[in-house]
Amino acid sequence: MPTERPVDSPEVLARFESELDLVDLLARQVGRTVSFSVTLDDLRSFGREGLLRAAQTFDESRGVPFRRWANLRVRGAMIDGLRQWGHLPRRMYRDLRAAEDADNVLEQCDEEDSARPAASADAADNRLTQYMAGMATAMAMGMVASSSEESAGIDDRAPSPEELVGNAELLDRIRAILPTLPEKERLLIEKHYFGDKTLDEAAASLGLSKSWGSRLHARAIEAIARALGAR
């Protein structure tokens, strides 16, 4: 006899219902991005599952507002649903993942700001600059990683010769930086960006929890961003 799923608490259900509009908003955004045979109802279905998981796992002590926490989980659930459905071209999937990785860096920044508020306006400006650099680095890595391994014709738009050269140069610089990272951070980055694993899958393969994997990911991205800037 199948085991019944535990009934969610009123608090969890209240969180879930409070952000149902977010599911519809993100479904429309993702729908415009993928622009092929996927319905908004499919995306909303994936998104509601992600929203429920977000409501169940939310911890206000992390210092991240629930809407931001839910935003990441809802969009991630939509992308994972499309990936498992087999309807998402590889380039499109990676570009959506790149945006999600940048959001992950921002989430960790929110937590750090909550735990250690900046001591001055200048310190806050410097921290914001670092955060923006980290988000840009995560976006860039997500969009160019493994591009040299793509099969011809798998994408709806072939990159220009200039893009190919720029991507190759950036990848060479990133690969040169990776050995300088602590081992688990290096392995996490390699598995996620060059091993075609989601961030959660990469973290699990290293015996890391989702939250710790997210922290190490943000830490590694910030280190890569600093190294790229120094070069």
**What CATH number belongs to 91-148+158-231?**
1.20.140
Residue 160: the pLDDT is 67
Pick out the chain residues at pLDDT < 50.
1-2, 148-155
User: What mean pLDDT, rounded, does the chain reach?
Assistant: 80
Place of tokens 């989702």: 210
Q: What is the CATH number of domain 9-88?
A: 1.10.1740.10
Domain boundaries, the chain: 9-88, 91-148+158-231
- pLDDT at position 57 is 87
